[in-house]
Amino acid sequence: MKSLEELIRYFPINIYNLLNTTIKQNNKIEEELQEIRIRCNRPIILRLRNMEILIEYNISQKEILQTIEKLCENSIYAYKNQICEGFITVKGGHRVGITGSAVIENGKIINIKYITSLNFRIAREVIGCSRKILGQVIDVKENTINNTLIVSPPGKGKTTILRDLIRNISNGVEELGFRGKNCSIVDERGEIAAMYQGVPQNDVGIRTDVIENISKAKGMKMLIRSMAPEVIACDEIGSKEDVEAIKEALISGVKGIFTMHGKTLEDIKKNKGINELIENKQIEKIIFI
C-alpha cells in the first residue's frame, strides 16, 4: 500500500524501520490497519479491524517532536490552526490526532505545547459503498435528489457513505440516466474530502467544491452565495445554527445530504430542530446504517 509507506516515513528512522518490519511480517496490516497510536514513554500500538499489535518500543518526547516537525514540513507555525483543532491532515487524506497541554486565551485554544500523543488515523476510501442506497437518494424521474439524512452511531461508516454519495451525484450515474450535479461540501473537520494543501485527497467527484475548517452553518451560507450549488453536503449536523442554515439552503432550492449520530427515529426526534425538518417534509429520506 503506497500511501501507508508514505505515512510511516513521517516517523524518525528507527521507528520507521520498526513499523516497516512489522508491516512486512504481517499481511493483515496493509489491509486492516486503522490507527497507529504513539504515546510518550509508551509502546507503539497498531489497531487493526479486530485486533491490536503492540510494538515494544517506548517513544521519547524528542521523537514525538521530530514526527510533528515532519508532519508540518518543518514549519509548525504554518500548521498552527490545524494543531489548535487537534489534528493535522497529511497527503493521502490521513489524519493525525494530537494531544498535549492546551494553551488557552480568551476561552479559545491558541496552541498545544508539550505534545504527548499522536493518533495516525488511516484514511480508506470505499468506492461504490453507496450503491445500495443510490436508488433512495436519487430521484431519476426528476433528475434530482431527495433531501436525505443518514443516521448511524459513531464509527459505522456514515462519513464514508456520504463521501461516495457525493462522488456519484457529482459525476453522474450513467446507468440510471442521472446527470451530474454541482455539489458543495462543508468539510468542517476535514474528514470528507481530506484536503491537503488545498487539494482533496479523497475522490469527491468532478463537479464538487469544498470548503474546510469552517463551521457548517457559516460554510453552507458562504457556498450558497458564492458557488451556486445544486446539492450541498455536510457531516454530523445537530446544532441550532446547523438547522437554520439547512432551512435557508433548502428554501433557496438547494438539495441536501446530511449525516447525524443516532440509532433510531426516537434519537432523531430528541433534536427539536432536525425533527422539525422531518415533520415539515424538508427531509425527504432518512437512511439508518
Q: Where residue 135 sits, what CATH number does that domain have?
A: 3.40.50.300
Residue 253 region, left (φ>0) first, then alpha (ψ -120 to 50), else beta?
left
Residues 106 and 156 both lie in one domain: no
pLDDT at 161 over 90: yes
Q: Among residues of the chain, what percentage have pLDDT more than 90?
A: 72
Q: Which of 103, 121, 139 is the last residue of a domain?
A: 121
Domain assignment of residue 269, yes or no? yes
Straight-line distance from the first to the last Cα atom of the chain, in angstroms, rounded to the nearest whole number:
28
Pick the more confident residue, 205 or 94.
Answer: 205
Domain count, the chain: 2
Interval 222-278: pLDDT, tens: 999 999 999 999 999 999 999 999 999 999 999 999 999 999 999 998 999 999 999
Torsions phi, psi of 147, nearest 5? -60, 120
240 and 221 share one domain? yes
Q: Is the pLDDT of residue 2 over 70?
A: no
Average pLDDT for residues 186-206, to the nearest whole number?
A: 88
Q: What CATH number corresponds to the domain at position 34?
A: 3.30.450.90
DSSP secondary-structure letter at 58? Answer: P
Asked whether residue 43 falls in the same domain as residue 72, the answer is yes
Distance CA 181, CA 178 (A): 9
Q: Does residue 228 lie within any of the structural domains?
A: yes
Residue 24, Cβ neighbours under 10 Å: how many? 10
Q: Are strands 183-187 and 231-234 parallel, antiparallel or unpaired?
A: parallel
As a whole number, mean pLDDT of residues 2-24 equals: 90
User: Do both 94 and 140 map to the same domain?
Assistant: no
Return the exposure string of 220-255: e unless at least 16 CB atoms fall within 10 Å of the residue's CB, then b: bbebbeebebbbbbbbbbbeeebbebbeebbeeebb
pLDDT > 80? residue 183: yes
| Other beta carbons less than 10 A from residue 211's beta carbon | 20
Q: Which pLDDT does position 71 carry in this prediction?
A: 93
Question: Quick check: is 32 in a domain?
Answer: yes
- pLDDT tens per residue, range 33-52: 999 999 999 999 999 988 99
Same domain, 162 and 270: yes
Average of per-residue pLDDT values in the chain: 92
Domain shared by 22 and 92, yes or no? yes
48 lies in which domain range? 2-121
* Residue 166 scores a pLDDT above 80: yes
Instruction: Compute the C-alpha angle 152/91/39, nearest 5°.
Output: 75
Note whether residue 193 is domain-resident: yes
Instruction: Let me know whether 117 and 200 are in one domain.
Output: no
Examine residue 31 and state whether it is found in any structural domain, yes or no: yes
Assess whether 139 and 77 both reside in one domain. Answer: no
Whether residue 82 is predicted with pLDDT greater than 70 in this model: the reply is: yes
Sequence-ordered list of residues with C-beta below 8 angstroms from that of 253, at least 6 positions apart, any chain? none
Domain match, 92 and 188 both: no
Closest to 211 (Cα-Cα) out of 231, 189, 244:
189
- Per-residue pLDDT tens over the stretch 105-144: 888 888 888 899 999 998 878 899 999 999 999 999 999 9
H-only helix segments in the chain: 2-8, 13-25, 28-32, 61-71, 80-85, 131-137, 158-171, 216-227, 240-251, 265-269, 272-279
126 is a domain residue: no
Instruction: Give CA torsion, residues 163, 205, 201, 253, to 10 deg.
Output: -60
Query: Of 101, 121, 141, which closes a domain?
Result: 121
Residue 38 lies in a domain: yes
Check residue 3 and give its pLDDT: 67
The answer to whether residues 288 and 267 touch, using CB atoms and an 8 Å cutoff, is no
C-alpha cell at 260: 447525524
Examine the domain organization and report whether 24 and 115 are in the same domain.
yes
Q: Are residues 110 and 137 in the same domain?
A: no
Instruction: Show the cell assigned to 169.
Output: 451525484
Q: Is residue 263 part of a domain?
A: yes
Q: At what angle do helices 216-227 and 240-251 cross, to 10 degrees?
A: 20
Q: Are residues 34 and 177 in the same domain?
A: no
The residue out of 92, 121, 150 marking a domain boundary is: 121
- Is the Cβ–Cβ distance between 130 and 169 less than 8 Å? no
